[in-house]
């Protein structure tokens, strides 16, 4: 659901002194919260209307470097302002931060007050509007996996400053804790605070569990409409980091933080519902319980899977997760209830039948991922794409089938050449994110790694 605090309730909380700070945050290209902390009295007495931020926020990389070569903003254009317009339907308390509330905002053009086309929230909103124009409400859920470390962010940063390396990251568990109740009992100081804090922020948390390696966690929250799901995903990531930091711990949402460990995913569950609330993917008479609409939708995602992968795996590191035998897919094919396939059909013969895309890692920007998946699925619906035969058995071993791109370089080239995405997002948006991918590749190509030094320093 959207935020769980009305503006009137906020004003009353401010009057009582319960809330003294309001975080106003937009979403950057990496899916992070970027914005300002307002004194609550100023916010409720006019600050809620709008604020401003530098337009470089949609051109910087993970390090906040002012990357050149973007059409939208640069030194040549002077790095002007965007309007950051609070979406008051997302207003909520942040129980883990004393006296704080949060509202998400949309980035608008400073002069026209129109949505910035390449802003992640605007990209997803446009695809949701496209689905609604066809008579459907896209419903989604994201599962988030991450690693929890005994080491604090401060200790990690200090080690990097002293030695130039991260050093040994001590996972909170010594062994694989998938579904392990005793081990997760030891982690409850953090995970209970995450479940309860996020629930208090209006996110319907379902559960947390141990995942498939030492120190790996998963947190699940109720499915919702596509935009609300992306909002919730972003707030969950931010909240988990906040809470772990407050307890002297740290987490990582890297897709693959260690080549010896399982990767962290963010599987995306998807379905279309009619605007009056009927499950449009369900057909109990079909062999798999799938309506023709669902088959067209899934066929669209399969057809365009390689073109959209740069939005499902946005970093060079993302592709190191796609490893045989570690539950991350390597083939972009579909199968029923089969975790070796890139696209899994879940809930067959129920009204909850849906497509689970298993390609995305925990490092995604959820707005871009959901938008790209929607765009591909809707292309299949509009074009009535025919669904290919189901894969079965060990899909890792399948030959002569569609593979997930093996690296960001290949995925970026497919993104650039995608006629489907250019039609759905617009040329400027595709070119913007292709440029971001090219920068990630160039930076990774440039940097010498610990692996290279250990391997080559003496023996080369």
The model's confidence at residue 173, banded by pLDDT at 50, 70 and 90, is very high
The pLDDT score that the predictor gives to residue 187 is: 95
Instruction: Say what the pTM is.
Output: 0.96
Say whether pLDDT at 190 is over 90: yes
DSSP characters over 52-76: EEEGGGGTB-TT--B----SS--TT
Question: Please, is 307 exposed, middle or buried when counting C-beta atoms within 10 Å of its C-beta (0-12, 13-18, 19+)?
Answer: buried
- 217 with 190: CB under 8 angstroms? no
| DSSP E strands, 89-228 | 92-93, 100-109, 136-142, 144-149, 205-210, 216-221, 224-225
Tens digits of residue pLDDT in 284-324 = 999 999 999 999 999 999 999 999 999 999 999 999 999 98
Tens digits of residue pLDDT in 67-105 = 999 999 989 888 999 999 999 999 999 999 999 999 999
Q: Is the dihedral of CA 147, 153, 159, 161 positive or negative?
A: positive
The model's confidence at residue 168, banded by pLDDT at 50, 70 and 90, is confident
58 vs 348, higher pLDDT:
58
| Domains along the sequence of the chain with CATH | 7-116 (3.10.20.70), 117-141+266-447 (3.30.590.10), 144-264 (3.30.590.10)
The pLDDT score that the predictor gives to residue 163 is: 76
Tens digits of residue pLDDT in 64-77 = 999 999 999 989 88
Say whether pLDDT at 217 is over 80: yes
Say whether pLDDT at 118 is over 70: yes
Say whether pLDDT at 405 is over 80: yes
Tens digits of residue pLDDT in 431-444 = 999 999 999 999 99
Share of the chain above pLDDT 70, in %: 99
Long-range contacts of 187-194 (CB under 8 A, 24+ apart): 187/148, 187/217, 189/247, 190/148, 190/243, 190/244, 190/247, 190/249, 191/148, 191/217, 191/219, 193/96, 193/243, 193/247, 194/219, 194/239, 194/240, 194/243
Helix (H) or strand (E) holding 156: helix 153-163
The model's confidence at residue 406, banded by pLDDT at 50, 70 and 90, is very high
The pLDDT score that the predictor gives to residue 442 is: 97
The model's confidence at residue 453, banded by pLDDT at 50, 70 and 90, is confident
Mean pLDDT of 215-227: 96
**SS3 state of residue 403:** strand
The pLDDT score that the predictor gives to residue 277 is: 92
**SS3 state of residue 304:** coil
Tens digits of residue pLDDT in 11-37 = 999 999 999 999 999 999 999 999 999
φ and ψ at residue 271, rounded to 5 degrees: -155, 160
Contacts of 45 (CB under 8 A, 6+ apart): none
Say whether pLDDT at 167 is over 70: no
Lowest mean pLDDT among 5-9, 325-329, 424-428: 325-329
The pLDDT score that the predictor gives to residue 1 is: 58
Tens digits of residue pLDDT in 337-385 = 889 999 999 998 898 999 999 999 999 999 999 999 999 999 999 999 9
Q: How far apart are CA 125 and CA 114, in angstroms?
A: 13
Say whether pLDDT at 165 is over 80: no
- The mean predicted confidence, pLDDT, of the chain is 95
The pLDDT score that the predictor gives to residue 330 is: 93
The pLDDT score that the predictor gives to residue 222 is: 96
Please report, in angstroms and rounded to a whole number, the separation of the first and last CA atoms in the chain: 57
DSSP characters over 344-377: EEESTTSTT-EEEE---BTTS-HHHHHHHHHHHH
Tokens of 53: 């931020």
């Amino acid at each position: 659901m959207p935020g769980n605090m009305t503006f009137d309730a906020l004003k009353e909380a401010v009057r009582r002194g319960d809330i003294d700070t309001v975080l106003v945050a937009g979403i950057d290209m990496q899916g992070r919260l970027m914005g300002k902390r307002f004194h609550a009295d100023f916010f409720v007495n006019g600050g809620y209307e709008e604020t401003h931020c530098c337009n470089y926020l949609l051109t910087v990389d993970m390090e906040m470097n002012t990357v050149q070569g973007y059409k939208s903003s640069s030194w040549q254009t002077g790095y002007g302002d965007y309007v950051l317009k609070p979406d008051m339907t997302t207003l909520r308390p942040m129980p883990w931060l004393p006296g704080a509330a949060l509202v998400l905002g949309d980035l608008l053009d400073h002069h026209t007050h129109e949505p910035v086309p390449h802003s992640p929230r605007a990209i997803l909103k446009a695809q949701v509007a496209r689905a609604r124009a066809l008579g459907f409400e896209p419903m989604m859920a994201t599962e988030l996996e991450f690693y929890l470390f005994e080491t604090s962010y401060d200790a990690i940063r200090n080690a990097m400053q002293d030695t130039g390396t991260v050093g040994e990251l001590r996972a909170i568990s010594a062994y694989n804790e998938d579904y392990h109740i005793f081990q997760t009992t030891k982690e409850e100081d953090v995970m209970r605070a995450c479940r309860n804090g996020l629930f208090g922020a209006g996110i319907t948390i379902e559960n947390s569990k141990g995942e498939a390696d030492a120190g790996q966690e998963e947190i699940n929250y109720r499915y919702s409409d596509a935009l609300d799901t992306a909002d919730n995903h972003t707030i969950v990531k931010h909240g988990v980091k906040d809470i772990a930091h407050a307890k002297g711990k740290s987490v990582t949402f890297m897709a693959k933080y260690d080549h010896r460990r399982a990767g962290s995913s963010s599987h995306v569950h998807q379905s279309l519902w009619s605007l009056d609330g009927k499950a449009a993917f369900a057909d109990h008479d079909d062999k798999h319980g799938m309506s023709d609409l669902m088959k067209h939708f899934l066929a669209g995602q399969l057809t365009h899977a390689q073109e959209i992968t740069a939005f499902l795996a946005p970093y060079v590191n993302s592709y190191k997760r796609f490893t045989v035998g570690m539950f991350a897919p390597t083939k972009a094919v579909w199968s029923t209830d089969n975790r070796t396939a890139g696209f899994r059909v879940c809930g067959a013969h129920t009204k909850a039948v849906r497509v689970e895309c298993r390609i995305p890692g925990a490092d995604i920007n959820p707005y871009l991922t959901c938008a790209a998946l929607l765009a591909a699925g809707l292309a299949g619906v509009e074009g009535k794409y025919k669904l290919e035969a189901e894969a079965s058995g060990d899909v890792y071993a399948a030959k002569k089938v569609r593979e997930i791109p093996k690296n960001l370089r290949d995925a970026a080239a497919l993104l650039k050449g995608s006629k489907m995405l250019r039609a759905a997002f617009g040329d400027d948006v595709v070119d913007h994110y292709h440029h971001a991918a090219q920068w990630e590749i160039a930076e990774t190509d440039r940097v010498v790694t610990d692996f290279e030094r250990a391997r080559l320093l003496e023996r080369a």
